[in-house]
Every structure is written in structure tokens, then in C-alpha cells.
Amino acid sequence: MLSKLSIDSEKKILICSAIAFFICTLSLTLHRHFSFYSSYDQGIFNQVFWNGTHGNFFQSTLSSQLSTNVVHSQEVPYVAYHRLGQHFTPALLIWLPIYYLFPHPATLTVLQATFVTAAGLVLYALARVYLEHAIAILITLSFYGANAVFGPTLANFHDISQIPLFIFSLLLAMEKRWWWLFGILIVCVLAVREDSGITLFGIGMYMILSRRFPRIGLAVCSLSFLYIVALTNLVMPMFSDDISKRFMLERFGQYADGDEASTLEIIKNMLTSPGLLLVELFTPVFDTFKYLLGQWLPLAFIPAVAPASWAIAGFPLLKLLLGKGQTVLVISIRYAMSVTPGLFYGAILWWAGQGFGNINKPLKECKPRKLRPKFRKFWIFCICLSIFFTITSNPSRTLSFIIPDAINPTVYVSAPKQWQHVPHIKKLLAQIPDDKSVSASTHIIPHLSSRREIIRIPGLEIRNDKQEVNQVDYIIVDLWQMEQYVPAFGEDRDWLNISNNLIDSVTDKQEYGVIDFSDGVILLKKNVKSNSKAFSEWKTYQAKIESILESE
């Protein structure tokens, strides 16, 4: 009877935690989207999916606008640009039938919450291979409460959200010796992104170092390395030059010799510059240490002493630590999610009795560790602390209606204020036909991205399928939202200034006319005269924002 009760309790806690995570993340992200706080990446992925349902696989004008051809060579964004030159993501095709049935940007939000929730359930099954239910439940709760999991799930849709589900499933298949499924999941992992093979390489290294499956591990390492090299040096350059002229330089430009570099050149320069490698690995010291603590915190710092965590998570972690940029060490951003599977699997094996002194010892001969009451309380405290840090960091401004974005000066947009603004945007959006080209401000883009031709302001030109370069038919800009954040955020001030100058330019030249204006949202149409009432309202509002810009 007691055994039956414990099993029932176990299932109840597991199901309740999964449901709570799913409802919480989905409701917050749907609120974020429908209150017009989802942004550019949500629009990119939605346009990729929308184009896919029309037979134009992986094409996107929004991705084209970020390409090296546009950014560096000043070319015009192209409707048939293949995003595979930036990120090789064929795994998205798995979910295309679902999007076909529900063709809406919010569908991607639902998919992301589903991926991560399902990953937690698979993690529980993985933990139960070796551990008693109490520890397995805590590991699952740690996953749902991890800043590196919770934070990225509250963001725009991103391809890395598939990684935990695929990796945990792959590890479970390995533990169960389901090698046919293991092989399928290897393909799925590699298909997520061009760099997902790095996590797979770590799994192969663990299989070798632990001597559990050395031959398969060697095959996994070889396949992962060859796949990454071949993909980034041979396949992706067939679509565009972005991998060598943009992404390698943005992340690893400190190891490059010129204006472009391949992955092989970057690896070679890393190996021949050990001094620079060490400096990049440990600096900035405080941010690196804080990042590691943030990754270890939800698991009560167990990954720090778990050899499997270092073996598997070490490689994607190394990629982040050796890179540059402001986002690589931000734990609430999507890149952090690629590190988590190795940390959690390593924690499982540590609790199963595998430590640094016996990593080669068969797991069935290891003595599982006991969960002491004091450590259990400490672990729960760590999970709560991780959730607290996630909430207070306000990832992707998803919690802006609860938490101020800035304290001094205070920037806070309440939920009622957000939703009062929504009808004004929708009123203007309803005037834009689905088959017309548009240039929009960042947070409006996701809602208009189910179309062939869309770019972000201040861009106005698109090259269409006939190779003709035309100006967009409509421009829509939400200046109100930018205005809210100007007092504390320079980026929003810059966007407000850019938007103001753009509107002045196109109306002065009579290229576009203001056809509607409502609550700081402006809609312009090509080759028409301005509506006198809308133009007058815009000029009144413009005087207000110009005084704000001058006072900053």
C-alpha cells in the first residue's frame, strides 16, 4: 500500500509540475505575443514556416535583411533568400505539418512551450533509469526551474528549444540500448542547427571516457566533427557567405586574420594561439564565474563535481566561453539551453554514484548516493532561488507587465496599459492587405510576417521573385512602445529617432502618405496623399517625441 501510494504521489507531482510549467510559460509567452512584445526572431521563424507551407522552404526576406549581402554589401533584401546559409535548420520541417494546420505566429509559441515541457518528462524517465523517484522528481523540478531553461522558453521561438528534448531522448535511447532510435535521434540533433553537433560530440566523448560504449562514442565524435566541418565549409556556403563573412567574425573574430574566416581557419588559429585561448576562456572573470554558478544553481551545484557534466556540457560551454559578444554569457538567452542537457545528465550519473574517481567504473557497480533531508532542503532552496533570478531578470521583457524594466529612471508598462494600446495597432494592421509588401517596426513584424515580402524599418526596398526591386507598399511603425523605454534604454531612443527621421523623409518627398494614426502608431501607404486628420495627429505627436529626444 505504501509503495502504491509513493508511485501515485510521484506521478501526481511529476504531472502537476509539467502542467504548471507548460501553463506558466505558454500563458506568459502568448501574453507577450498578443500584447505586441514578441520581436524580430519570432517574425523570421514564422515567415520561414509560412514560406514552407507555400513550397518556398527556408526562404525569408527578414533573414535576408540580416545577411552579409545586405549588411556589408548594401544589397536589397531578396524574397528567395535561403536562411540555410545563416543557420542550417532542417529539423524545422518536422513541425511544418502542425504549422500547416495552424498557420499563425502563436503556433510557434505553443510548439516551444511543448518542446521544453516534454523534455522535462523525458528527463524524468532518464533519471528513473538509475535513481529513486524523489531524486528524479527534484531533477525534473530543477530543469523546469533553471534560468537557462525557463528564461529562453519565455523568449521568441528559437531552434535551440528542440535540443533538450532530442538530447534527453537520445540519452534515454542509449541507456535502454535502443540503438535504432539512437541513430534516428542523432540525425534529429544534427538537423537542429549547424552547431548542435558540438553537444553530440560531448556525448560521444562521454561514451569513450566512461568506456561504456567506446566504439559507438568514437563514431559519434567522428560523425559530429565531420558533419560540422562539411556543413559549414561546403554546404552552407552554397546558400550564402554568411557563415564565413558574418557569423564566424561576430562570434570568433578575435581568432580571424582577415574579413572572413571558415570554421577550419578559426579552429586552426585557436590551437595555434594558446595564450589568446586562455584569456578568452576565463575572461571576463566575474561574468564567466556568474554564468557557471547560474547553470549549476538549480541542481544545487552538483554538475560542478560531476564528470559526465563536464564531458558532455563542456564542449557547448567551451563554444560560449571562447566566443565574444554581449549575449554569449547571458543565461536567460537561448544559447544557454544548449549547455543544460549535459549538466542534467551528469547530475543523474553523479547521484547514481559516478564520480571523478570512478568514471570508468560500470554504473551497476556504483553505489547510488542518498538524498539527505538537509541537502533536500538546500536543493529546493536552490531551485526557488533560480526561479527568483529568472523572474527578476525579466527575460525578453516577457514580464514587463509585472516587473519594471528599469528602476532609475523608472520604466514600467503595466498590463492594462499594454492591452489598451493593442486595439490601436490592430486597427491599423487591418488596413494592410495580406498580399502587400510591408516595412514595419520590430514588435509589429511577427504579426505581419505571414507574407512573402516584409522587412524592418528603415529598409524600404525588396527584390521580388521577378528580380524587380520595389519599394514596399506600406510602412507601419509603433512609436508609442519605443517612447515608453526611451528614458532608460539608448537602443529604443535610437529606434525612435530613426523612425521619426524615416517618416519625415518619405512624407517630405511625397513617396508615402499618412493614411492613419492612432495612439503613437502610424500607417503610411506608397504613392498616396496623406489623410489630413491623420497627418495632423501625427504632427502633434511628433512634436511630443521630438521634445523627448531633445531632452535625453
User: Collapsing DSSP states into helix, strand and coil, what is residue 517?
Assistant: strand
Q: Which amino acid is at 200?
A: L
Q: Which residues contact 117 (CB under 8 A, 6 or more apart)?
A: 18, 21, 22, 25
Q: What is the DSSP string of 370-396?
A: P--HHHHHHHHHHHHHHHHHHHHH-GG
- Give pTM, 2 decimals: 0.95
Q: Which three cell numbers stand for residue 372?
A: 539527505
Grouping H, G, I as helix, E, B as strand and the rest as coil, residue 245 is helix
Backbone angles phi, psi at 83, to 5 degrees: -65, -15
pLDDT at 408: 83
Among 85, 374, 319, residue whose Cα is nearest residue 202: 319
pLDDT of residue 163: 97
Cα distance between residue 243 and residue 386, in whole Å: 35
**What is the distance in angstroms between the CA of the first residue and the CA of the last residue of the chain?**
69
Check residue 259 and give its pLDDT: 79
Alpha helices for 35-90 (secondary structure H): 40-53, 61-65, 68-71
pLDDT of residue 38: 96
Share of the chain above pLDDT 90, in %: 80
User: Residues of the chain whose pLDDT is less than 70?
Assistant: 1-7, 357-358, 552
Q: What are phi and psi of 78, to 5 degrees?
A: -120, 135
Supply the pLDDT for residue 281.
Answer: 85
Question: Which amino acid is residue 170, in one-letter code?
Answer: L
List the Cα angle 447/453/454 in 5-degree steps.
Answer: 45
Neighbours of 402 (CB within 10 A): 12
Q: Identify the bridge partners of residue 439 per DSSP, sorted by sequence position.
A: 455, 475
Residue range 36-81, pLDDT digits in tens: 999 999 999 999 999 999 999 999 999 999 999 999 889 999 999 9
Read off the C-alpha cell for 320: 560560449
Residue position matching grid coordinates 528534448: 165
Examine residue 487 and say whether the peptide bond preceding it is cis (omega within 30 degrees of 0): no
User: What is the rounded (10 degree) CA torsion for 168, 172, 178, 182?
Assistant: 20
Task: Tell me the three state secondary structure of residue 499.
Answer: helix
Number of H helices, E strands in the chain: 25, 7
pLDDT at 273: 83
Distance CA 174, CA 182 (A): 6
* Residue that is written with C-alpha cell 545528465 in the block: 345
Task: Please give the pLDDT value at position 6.
Answer: 61
Distance CA 260, CA 242 (A): 9
